[in-house]
Structure 1
């Protein structure tokens, strides 16, 4: 059929990529590997947009991997993701199937497609104590002093910025060794959604998720003993709703700031995907508004070329 190792579906939040990937998996009789940095956590369902109902297509359950594999409160990282991805990838390939990688975490996706050489960076308590009282703008300024950042988009909290500094400092003292995993030859398909439509869908979806119980979901995680600081670390919904629960924001402030943050996040996602293209990853963009049959048909046509 083709010599692709897998199919990759990327796109910004609210573009409909998960539903698209599930219908494609149904047609190809295959399985999906999640490329989302937060869907690995159990109990974090509404806020991360797992949309598990999408994994049922025409009555058939589409097998998925790397969702609900860690406890809320854990600190999962790209090094662990790369190893977990290849375990799932190898298992799916052993069944004679072509995996579909789907997600919006560009760094995670690019790390496996291009075979990034990574190390498991340990926690540096001394460094964390040094920067614990720095503001996010101050930390971002420090990050700008490094020539080649491992991640330039996902530092929307002080904790994440400190972690990024931690990684850069570790890399200075520990040169990276030869790649452990090879690059993969993937057909990469991007879901192209017009900016205003994306913004409207994000706003509508946020209201819907709040009505579905997103605040209650986060309150339940806090009640189970996960600290507010750990939830804030995850950013976006978990940051702003935790601040609301902790009475640091009013409901209207939470909604407004979170809505803006999600719009900014979607913009950063698209910036990352465009950067991937500049770094040599060819992405076939497909209009998000096309009927599902046309979208899946377009991918199947690319696979047989």
Structure 2
């Protein structure tokens, strides 16, 4: 029998944390963070990390397991998450992965592999030169114009992965995300999987994101960014996280605080859009709109979906 697994995905600020805790209480679950930045100790406010009070006694995993100077890869997340899923199932509980980092979650629920195109050093060298002369954003924009779904999955600063995606396209003529989608259509999850997606009307979501950023500023995210800047690890994955990198130019005197805040809000909104695009195109998600009724009414729908999908109603 396949192990049971619930996954809750969706854009930032849509309400995944509250929903996951309520669901864990309802179905005897434990929560695994699927956020690639919440693994870092000391980065609490900027990553919207769940507080101990918000956990309401529900065990949470994959939070505060790394120092900001340490790397954290998809492969490492996949290995640790699979171990936790088995451990939680063996306790007779239901594991619930919660997060917005699509590639990390996909690596656990399915086999995530792109077909390997023959490597073309000439194409790669030309793309590398373009990245060096025009900057990583120019290269990412090129990928966005060719394959917006794949581009949504890759941070603009991850030049290596952007180059690899473009190399596949220019070498084979095939669009990486479509090739991956064709493979996924034939692929079943290795788990008895209930995949819940939370969505929200775009303008309302953007208002929530802006309000969250304002609260982050009041709660001390500038101090967190200053501490991170002092670690002298500007090339680390943690230092490139949305919520911190936008504040560095303010802390170094390059732009005003108001400009940094607006940049943070803009990048957060864009990230939310990329998250939705990725999940909508890459995974078979059952979507629930969080702006159509009261939370309790919507939560009952989500709970019934999960119970039916995993056949666990007799356990609650």
**Shorter-normalised TM range:** 0.7 to 0.9
Is 1:71 the counterpart of 2:74 in the alignment?
no
Structure 1 residue 295: Cα displacement: 3.3
Mapping 1:235-254, distance limit 5 Å: 235-254=241-260
Check whether the contact 1:113–1:185 (CA below 8 A) recurs between aligned residues: no
Q: Distance between the aligned counterparts of 2:59 and 2:255, measured in 1?
A: 39
Q: Give a deviation string over 1:175-228, Cα, whole Å, max 9, x none.
A: xxxxxx9632311111121111111111111011001000001112233x2423
Q: Distance between the aligned counterparts of 1:268 and 1:141, measured in 2?
A: 13
What is the DSSP-based 3-state SS (H/G/I as helix, E as strand, rest coil) of the residue aligned with 1:116? coil
Q: Give a deviation string over 1:234-253, Cα, whole Å, max 9, x none.
A: 23212111222122222121
Residue from 107, 114, 118 that aligns with 1:111: 107
Is 1:188 the counterpart of 2:195 in the alignment?
yes
What is the DSSP-based 3-state SS (H/G/I as helix, E as strand, rest coil) of the residue aligned with 2:158? helix
Check whether the contact 1:9–1:102 (CA below 8 A) recurs between aligned residues: yes
Residue from 276, 282, 297 that aligns with 1:294: 297
TM-score of the two chains, using structure 1 as the length reference: 0.80
Structure 1 residue 145: Cα displacement: 10
Change in 2 beyond 3 A, CA 1:79/1:73: same
Check whether the contact 2:288–2:298 (CA below 8 A) recurs between aligned residues: no
Residue from 197, 215, 231 that aligns with 1:208: 215
Aligned to 1:20: 19
Structure 2: 5+ residue stretches without partners: 115-123, 172-187, 309-316
Q: Distance between the aligned counterparts of 1:11 and 1:56, measured in 2?
A: 19
What is the DSSP-based 3-state SS (H/G/I as helix, E as strand, rest coil) of the residue aligned with 1:44? coil
Check whether the contact 1:115–1:184 (CA below 8 A) recurs between aligned residues: no
Check whether the contact 1:55–1:63 (CA below 8 A) recurs between aligned residues: no
> More helix per residue: 1 or 2?
2
What is the DSSP-based 3-state SS (H/G/I as helix, E as strand, rest coil) of the residue aligned with 1:46? coil
The number of residue pairs the alignment matches comes to 284
Structure 1 residue 134: Cα displacement: 4.3
Structure 1: 5+ residue stretches without partners: 119-125, 173-180
Q: Distance between the aligned counterparts of 1:207 and 1:149, measured in 2?
A: 29
TM-score of the two chains, using structure 2 as the length reference: 0.77
Q: Distance between the aligned counterparts of 2:247 and 2:201, measured in 1?
A: 28
What is the DSSP-based 3-state SS (H/G/I as helix, E as strand, rest coil) of the residue aligned with 1:204? helix
What is the DSSP-based 3-state SS (H/G/I as helix, E as strand, rest coil) of the residue aligned with 1:91? helix
Q: Distance between the aligned counterparts of 2:151 and 2:60, measured in 1?
A: 28
Q: Distance between the aligned counterparts of 2:10 and 2:200, measured in 1?
A: 8
Residue from 265, 270, 273 that aligns with 1:267: 273
Q: Distance between the aligned counterparts of 1:271 and 1:106, measured in 2?
A: 10
Mapping 1:92-111, distance limit 5 Å: 92-111=88-107
Check whether the contact 1:40–1:68 (CA below 8 A) recurs between aligned residues: yes
Structure 1 residue 90: Cα displacement: 1.4
Change in 2 beyond 3 A, CA 1:199/1:93: same
Change in 2 beyond 3 A, CA 1:167/1:75: farther
Aligned to 1:285: 288
Check whether the contact 1:9–1:17 (CA below 8 A) recurs between aligned residues: yes
Q: Give a deviation string over 1:141-168, Cα, whole Å, max 9, x none.
A: 665799x8994214444x3123443688
Structure 1 residue 115: Cα displacement: 2.3
